[in-house]
Chain A
Amino acid sequence: MTSSETTMHSSDTGTAAGKVLLKAERLERKFGGLTAVADFSFELREGEILGLIGPNGAGKSTTFNLISGFMPPTSGQLFFLDENITSKNATYISRKGLIRTFQHESLLSEMSVADNIIIATTHRLKTTAARQEKMRKIAGLTGLENYLDVPAGSLPHGLQRMLSIAIALAAEPKVLCLDEPLTGLQGVEVSAALDLFEMIRSKLGITILLVEHNMRAVMRICDRILVLNHGRLLAAGTPEEVSQNELVIEAYLGHKK
């Protein structure tokens, strides 16, 4: 099936799952002899929160690097908003509306919180006033309004994670890819972050691809979940389906039993 057929088909059904925004076909990435991602195909549909889970080293961050143009795939194809973006660079893809965060070093540590967010508005907004306004709005959404002058590197950890999301939001994504945004957050912070994700999806209309290790959070917030193991898709489905999948329990949750 071509991507346009998929799109028509899904809009016909008119269910919770909207049209396909992002589509990966048989994605593969090798590092020398190591295959970090192999034969990985998936679709991200408008309006959903899609989880991407898997043990450390499963290839989740590499997948982010591939879809955001930070690294070319060794083989396979990528489509975003009905355009083949396989060979496009990160600047092009982020301008088109796919914005990713980073698992590590996810902000400008030496610059103020305000400057971090303003940098992300630079491409879309051309006047200082518009950038300031946007920056304040995003800082408000992410609970950073009282830290605007603080150097990002000296923020408390939880607020640093919020800032990396604020940076991504300020770039006005259509698809937001979050790489382990909950790492190191305390209980209250986790539920605040999940509320924020839910708000980003419903109020801002942004589709989310979420890589996360916090299983309870993933199960709670995701509509569908993809499970990667050794770079390959092990299972896909609703949280219930995935959590009952034998292969997943064995490969991923097994040690918890």
Chain B
Amino acid sequence: MLRSNPGLALCILIALAAICFALFSGDPYYVQVVIWVFANAVLAVTLRFVLLIGELNIATAAFFGIGAYATAVASTIYDLPFFISLLAAPVIAGLVSALFGWITLRTKGPYFLLISFAFTEIVRLFYTKSEFLGGNSGMIGMFPPMVLNDYYPAIAITLLAAILFGLYLTERSNLGRVFKAIQNNEDIPRSVGLNVIGLKILCFVIASTAVGLAGGVHAYTNSVIAPADFTFFVAVLALAYVKIGGEGHIIGPIIGAATLTLAGQFLHSFGPYENIFYGAIIIGVLLLMPGGIIGLGKGFIGSSTVRRDPH
């Protein structure tokens, strides 16, 4: 696939070089930025993953938070070991999303979008009201074990990259084809024996489990989490990453997340004007490049934006 796709291969190479630079530079700030890029890429890619079945999933922010809180509770309240606390994130996010999807994905129309928005805000309010979860100030003290401390950034990046790669493989599999068919015209898959509602729930659970794990990684990366980290705005930003990178291929949201996260680091220096610049970039890109960055590079990236399976 990479051989037929020099543009994509080059992108991956640049990314790998950047990661190596960050990890070996020894500067914790660079390391932090690389992890942010990957975490934001997972947010964007999981948002796009549910777009495959035609649903805009604001709750991707909620499940990022549920994963983070699951890990925080497991590690700071129950003192569970590092990897088990991390594992709690995708497991809890997956279970909650299965129930949420089972209830909400039966209806057609804009309901899912609205309910996923409401759910995100309700879960966040719940954190602020829950003393157990630290209320407004959130939870603190999620540290990787001493022996792993030096390796934690590498572990975090590997996990996040593995999530991205796993979602990429899923999209390329027959399951990904079925998800796209559901978006295109769900009566057709239904008429040939596919359980469309079950498949929609599956798509949603896969994305939520993935973003839940990213939430767990986020908890250990930051050591501090608070309800304000998981508002619906997280999903709005993820949507911006998707739109700016381009949604025709999974590499789009990854490029979008990298571009905006890095731009955000420079814009910090503008202080209170940061968000204005941020907004201007987003609007500018959306107006000037309707296909996103990968839309611009279509000739360059070549076949990566249009799927051509070897039939």
Give Cα A120–Cα B174 distance, bound, in whole angstroms. 11
A191 within 8 Å of B by Cβ?
no
What is the 8 Å Cβ interface bit string for chain A, positions 143-186, against chain B (1 contact, 0 not)? 00000110000000000000000011011000000000000000
Dominant secondary structure of chain A at its interface with chain B: mixed
Contact indicator B192/A99 (Cβ below 8 Å): yes
Contact indicator B194/A122 (Cβ below 8 Å): yes
- CB proximity of B237 to chain A, nearest CB, Å: 28
B265 within 8 Å of A by Cβ?
no
- Chain B's closest residue to A120 (CB) is B192
User: B194: which A residues are within 8 A, CB to CB?
Assistant: 91, 119, 122-123
A118 within 8 Å of B by Cβ?
yes
User: B177: which A residues are within 8 A, CB to CB?
Assistant: 111, 115, 118-119
B79 within 8 Å of A by Cβ?
no
User: B189: which A residues are within 8 A, CB to CB?
Assistant: 119, 122
Dominant secondary structure of chain B at its interface with chain A: helix
Give Cα A132–Cα B310 distance, bound, in whole angstroms. 10
What is the 8 Å Cβ interface bit string for chain A, positions 94-135, against chain B (1 contact, 0 not)? 110001111001111111101110111011100010011001
- CB proximity of A30 to chain B, nearest CB, Å: 21
Give Cα A208–Cα B174 distance, bound, in whole angstroms. 30
Contact indicator B188/A70 (Cβ below 8 Å): no
B308 within 8 Å of A by Cβ?
yes
Of the 9-residue stretches B9-17, B82-90, B138-146, B179-187, which lies at the interface with chain A? Answer: B179-187
Partner of A110, one of B184, B187, B191, B311: B184
Give Cα A8–Cα B183 distance, bound, in whole angstroms. 45
Contact indicator B193/A100 (Cβ below 8 Å): no
B178 within 8 Å of A by Cβ?
yes
How many A-B pairs have beta carbons closer than 8 Å: the answer is 86
Which B residues from 278 to 311 make CB contacts under 8 A with A? 308-309, 311
Contact indicator A105/B185 (Cβ below 8 Å): yes
**Contact of A131 with B174 at beta-carbon distance under 8 Å, contacts A108-B185, A110-B184, A111-B181 already known:** yes
What is the 8 Å Cβ interface bit string for chain B, positions 142-182, against chain A (1 contact, 0 not)? 00000000000000000000000000000000100110110
B196 within 8 Å of A by Cβ?
yes
- CB proximity of B194 to chain A, nearest CB, Å: 6
Contact indicator B184/A108 (Cβ below 8 Å): yes
Contact indicator A119/B311 (Cβ below 8 Å): no
Partner of B188, one of A91, A108, A132, A135: A108
User: B193: which A residues are within 8 A, CB to CB?
Assistant: 91, 94-95, 122-124, 171
Contact indicator B180/A94 (Cβ below 8 Å): no
Contact indicator B308/A149 (Cβ below 8 Å): yes
Contact indicator A108/B181 (Cβ below 8 Å): yes
User: A115: which B residues are within 8 A, CB to CB?
Assistant: 177, 180-181, 309
Please classify how large the interface on chain B is, using the bins under 10, 10 to 19, 20 to 34, 35 or more. 20 to 34
**Contact of A70 with B192 at beta-carbon distance under 8 Å, contacts A119-B177, A149-B311 already known:** no
Give Cα A173–Cα B191 distance, bound, in whole angstroms. 11
Give Cα A212–Cα B215 distance, bound, in whole angstroms. 56
**Contact of A107 with B191 at beta-carbon distance under 8 Å, contacts A115-B177, A131-B174 already known:** no
B129 within 8 Å of A by Cβ?
no
Give Cα A108–Cα B196 distance, bound, in whole angstroms. 15
- CB proximity of A124 to chain B, nearest CB, Å: 7
B269 within 8 Å of A by Cβ?
no
Give Cα A45–Cα B191 distance, bound, in whole angstroms. 22
Contact indicator B188/A94 (Cβ below 8 Å): no
Contact indicator A148/B190 (Cβ below 8 Å): no
Give Cα A12–Cα B180 distance, bound, in whole angstroms. 48
Give Cα A90–Cα B308 distance, bound, in whole angstroms. 31
Contact indicator A119/B188 (Cβ below 8 Å): yes
**Contact of A119 with B181 at beta-carbon distance under 8 Å, contacts A128-B174, A148-B311 already known:** yes
User: A68: which B residues are within 8 A, CB to CB?
Assistant: 191
Contact indicator B174/A122 (Cβ below 8 Å): yes
User: A167: which B residues are within 8 A, CB to CB?
Assistant: 188, 191-192
Give Cα A109–Cα B183 distance, bound, in whole angstroms. 11
- Chain B's closest residue to A102 (CB) is B187
Give Cα A111–Cα B178 distance, bound, in whole angstroms. 11
B195 within 8 Å of A by Cβ?
yes
Give Cα A107–Cα B181 distance, bound, in whole angstroms. 9
Give Cα A188–Cα B241 distance, bound, in whole angstroms. 51
User: B187: which A residues are within 8 A, CB to CB?
Assistant: 70, 102, 105
User: B174: which A residues are within 8 A, CB to CB?
Assistant: 118, 122, 128, 131
Query: CB within 8 Å of B: which residues of A?
Result: 68, 70, 90-91, 94-95, 99-102, 105-112, 114-116, 118-120, 122-124, 128, 131-132, 135, 148-149, 167-168, 170-171
Query: CB within 8 Å of A: which residues of B?
Result: 174, 177-178, 180-181, 184-185, 187-196, 308-309, 311
14 other A-B residue contacts (CB within 8 Å) besides A94-B190, A115-B177, A115-B309: A68-B191, A99-B192, A105-B185, A105-B187, A107-B185, A108-B184, A111-B180, A114-B311, A115-B181, A118-B177, A119-B188, A119-B192, A148-B311, A168-B191
Can you report 15 residue pairs joining A to B where beta carbons are below 8 Å apart?
A68-B191, A70-B191, A90-B191, A91-B194, A91-B196, A94-B192, A99-B192, A101-B191, A102-B187, A107-B188, A110-B180, A115-B177, A115-B309, A135-B311, A168-B192
